[in-house]
Amino acid sequence: MNNIKLLIFDLDGTLVDSRFDLADAVNYALKKLKKPQLTYGEIPPLLGSGLGYLLQKATGEEEPAVLQHARQLFDEYYSHHYADKTRRYPGVKETLAALGHLKKAVYSNKAQAFTEAIVRELGLAPYFDAVMGAQPGRHPLKPDPAGIRIILGQLSIPASQSLMVGDSTHDMEAGKAAGMLTCAVTYGYRPAEVLKKMSPDLMIEAFPDLMKLPQLF
């Protein structure tokens, strides 16, 4: 673990707290569909598996036409409000700057356009060598490791010299499947006891704790 050259970060629940804007967009769609609203507290357990999963669980629907309409309504709202309440977690920018000697990438199950927009809007773009979100038709979502392998190929760094940092079991599964080391963050959308079951190589309680890891220096 003393030869890490690349860090791949999840976005929601790892770099940024986006639950409030996501909840507002979901509730906009639910209101239009005349369905019950969700509280902010009900949203985090539904995050991490992509928008399709989020809307299916939020609406309680399985009908493709209804879910497609829900997605259109979500996008209609979220495209104008993706950064209203979304914020970086404490110490993210400073920590990324301190890790300037390492290559860094973002890999999210959020749509590519929204992933890029949030990274840019919150001033994080200069710190990353690659930013990848969901791109249907190009690669499946996490926990499939296909997207990670694309990033590794783009940056010409082997999985054995890379660390996946995320707050979900999908992040840990994808990293392990790609042959990477994994680091679970416990301040995001999954409790520590759930993440421990995935046997991550490292666990941190706050983003700046990355600077305390001798493996990265």
Instruction: Give the residue numbers annotated as catalytic, written as ranges.
Output: 10
Q: Which of 26, 46, 44 is nearest to 35 (CA)?
A: 26
Residues 102, 6 contacting (CB under 8 angstroms): yes
Q: Which of 147, 118, 144, 117 is nearest to 132 (CA)?
A: 147
* All residues at 6 or more sequence positions from 129 whose CB lies less than 8 Å from its CB, including other chains: 103, 104, 105, 155
Give per-residue burial for 87-103: e unless 16+ CB within 10 Å, then b: ebbeebbebbeebeebb
Q: Residue 37 CA to chain centroid, in angstroms?
A: 24
E strand or H helix that includes residue 172: helix 169-178
Rg over alpha carbons for the chain, rounded to the nearest Å, is 17
By DSSP bridging, strand 16-17 and strand 87-88 are antiparallel
Q: In angstroms, how far apart are the furthest CA atoms of the chain?
A: 54
* All residues at 6 or more sequence positions from 51 whose CB lies less than 8 Å from its CB, including other chains: 71, 74, 110, 111, 134
